[in-house]
Amino acid sequence: MKAALKDAKGTKLVLLGTAAGPVPGRPRKMTSHVMFSNGAAYVLDCGLGVTDRFAETGIPFSAPRSIFITHHHFDHNVEYGPLLGWVQGMPLTVRAYGPPPLKQMTSDYISSMRTTINFWAEDLKMKPLETIDVIEVPDAGPVMQDDNVKVSSVVVEHPPVKPALGYRFDFHDRSIAFSGDTTPVEAVAQMAKGADVLVHEAMYVPAVESYVKDQVAKGRPVSVEAFMAHMKADHSPVEDVGRIAAEAGVKTLVLSHLTPAVDSISDDVWRAPAAKYFKGEIIVARDLMVV
Ligand SMILES: [Zn+2]
Ligand SMILES: [Zn+2]
């Protein structure tokens, strides 16, 4: 994987974590991605495991320019603070983009670590992390642009989380769109129009109910009814994902943020419902896969 990235021509997407939900201890980590273009890295979402997975790519910690958060669920933001990675030497110029109250969350995190940051700064004569630049994204529209990429956002449907965002990254050589967590929505098809890659969350409904029952039996503090109601109101069955990819006319569809995130469902089973509608390439995401 490191060789694939090192020898790569052009922009690469690495799927760092591909599991849905805030459940630790699985082979797939919680959701996170990095895009690597011209030596600059752009991180999207920071589920538990993002820092280790990032390190496994071999991309240096000096590379991240920007971090993007789709929405404030644990499986997308719980490791945002730790990834700021002052200890690892991430540049203090890194910027973060995401829904409010990301500014407050960032300063609260840095405050909570102030004692440790100051011990470290004193010990190693380093410049302490005071703050980073945070740009809140409350709505759909242009988010940022630099010499590598133009980024825009779209509002998706993931109640009660408001706003929950999808993002599109237009690099010079390819465009990559992300649904974030959402029910199937037209806004994602519009945003992803003509993109090279659409990374869409995907739920395989027949396996979800048995998974949920199993989780509840193992003592997860939630009822089966409440959990299933949440799944249906908040996530996208994989056939609908195929429909959206077909409407958007993307080249490649990546099924990720898999629900349930169990390895007993084969790639063919994941692909088939989407392939009824979408005739392009369908990739079933795995952690550290390079697209
Ligand atoms: Zn999620
Ligand atoms: Zn979510």
Q: Are 283 and 252 in contact (CB under 8 A)?
A: yes
- Between CA 235 and CA 257 the distance in angstroms is 10
Which pLDDT band, with edges at 50, 70 and 90, does 87 fall under?
Answer: low
**For residue 230, what pLDDT is reported?**
85
Given a contact cutoff of 8 angstroms between Cβ atoms, the answer to whether 271 and 282 are in contact is yes
Distances in Å between the Cα of 185 and the Cα atoms of 235, 251, 271 are 10, 19, 20
CA of 202 from ligand 1 middle (Å) equals: 10
**Distance, CA 231 to ligand 2 centroid (Å)?**
10
* pLDDT attached to residue 14: 98
Residues 286, 16: Cα–Cα separation, whole Å:
8
- Residue 51's pLDDT is 94
Q: Which two tokens stand for residue 193?
A: 């129009």
CA R_g for the chain: 19
Give the per-residue pLDDT at 2: 72
Q: What are the φ and ψ backbone dihedral angles of 148, each rounded to 5 degrees?
A: -100, -35
Ligand closest in space to the Cα of 99:
2
Q: Side by side, which strands form the sheet with 197-203?
A: 141-145, 149-156, 164-171, 175-178, 197-203, 252-259, 281-284
Which of 29-38, 39-48, 72-81, 85-94 shows the lowest mean pLDDT across its residues?
Answer: 85-94
Sign of the torsion formed by the C-alpha atoms of 202, 47, 12 and 154: positive
The confidence band for 199, taking pLDDT boundaries of 50, 70 and 90, is: very high
Q: Average the pLDDT over 75-83 and give the result.
A: 95
Beta-ladder partners of 156? 164
CA of 76 to the centre of ligand 1 (A): 6
Rounded to the nearest angstrom, the distance between the alpha carbon of 183 and the centre of ligand 2 is 10
Strand pairing report for 252-259 and 281-284: parallel
Residue 184's pLDDT band (cuts 50, 70, 90): very high
Task: Tell me the CA–centroid distance for residue 256 and ligand 1, in Å.
Answer: 10
Q: Residue 44 pairs with which residues in a beta bridge?
A: 33, 68
pTM for the full model?
0.94
Among all ligands shown, which has an atom nearest to the Cα of 257?
1
Q: Ligand 2 centroid to 166 CA: how many Å?
A: 11
Q: Is the peptide bond before 260 cis (omega within 30 degrees of 0)?
A: yes
Beta strands in 5-50, from DSSP E residues, in sequence order: 12-17, 32-37, 40-46
Mean residue pLDDT of the chain comes to 93
- In this predicted structure, the answer to whether residue 232 has a pLDDT above a threshold of 90 is no
Residue corresponding to tokens 């009814």:
225
- Backbone φ and ψ for 18, nearest 5 degrees, come out as -125, 10
* Ligand number with the minimum distance to the CA of 202: 1
pLDDT band at 3 (very low <50, low <70, confident <90, very high): low
Compute the average pLDDT of residues 128-141: 93
**Position 86 pLDDT exceeds 70:** no
Ligand nearest to the CA of 30: 1
- Mean of the pLDDT values across residues 262-287? 96
